[in-house]
A = this chain, B = another copy of it.
Amino acid sequence: VFSLTRRYRFSASHRLHAASLSVEDNRALYGKCDNPYGHGHDYVLDVSVRGPIDRLSGQVAGRTELDALVAHAVLREFDHRNLNVEVDAFASMVPTSECVAREICRRLKCAWPSVFPAGALRLAAVRIEETPRNIFEIDADEIE
Contact = CB atoms under 8 A, between A and B. Distances in A.
A102 B134 CA distance: 22
Given A59-B98, A60-B98, A93-B58, A82 B133 contact: no
A139 to B, nearest CB: 5
Contacts of A42: 40-42, 131
Interface in A101-144: 102, 131-139, 142
Given A12-B39, A38-B82, A58 B132 contact: no
A84 to B, nearest CB: 8
Interface string A90-101: 000111111100
Contacts of A14: 40
A63 interface: yes
A55 to B, nearest CB: 9
A136 to B, nearest CB: 5
Contacts of A53: 98-99, 102
A85 interface: yes
A39 B13 contact: yes
A138 B1 contact: yes
Given A1-B142, A53-B98, A59-B96, A80 B39 contact: yes
Given A11-B40, A39-B79, 8 more contacts: A3-B137, A5-B134, A13-B13, A13-B82, A18-B57, A32-B79, A46-B135, A58-B95
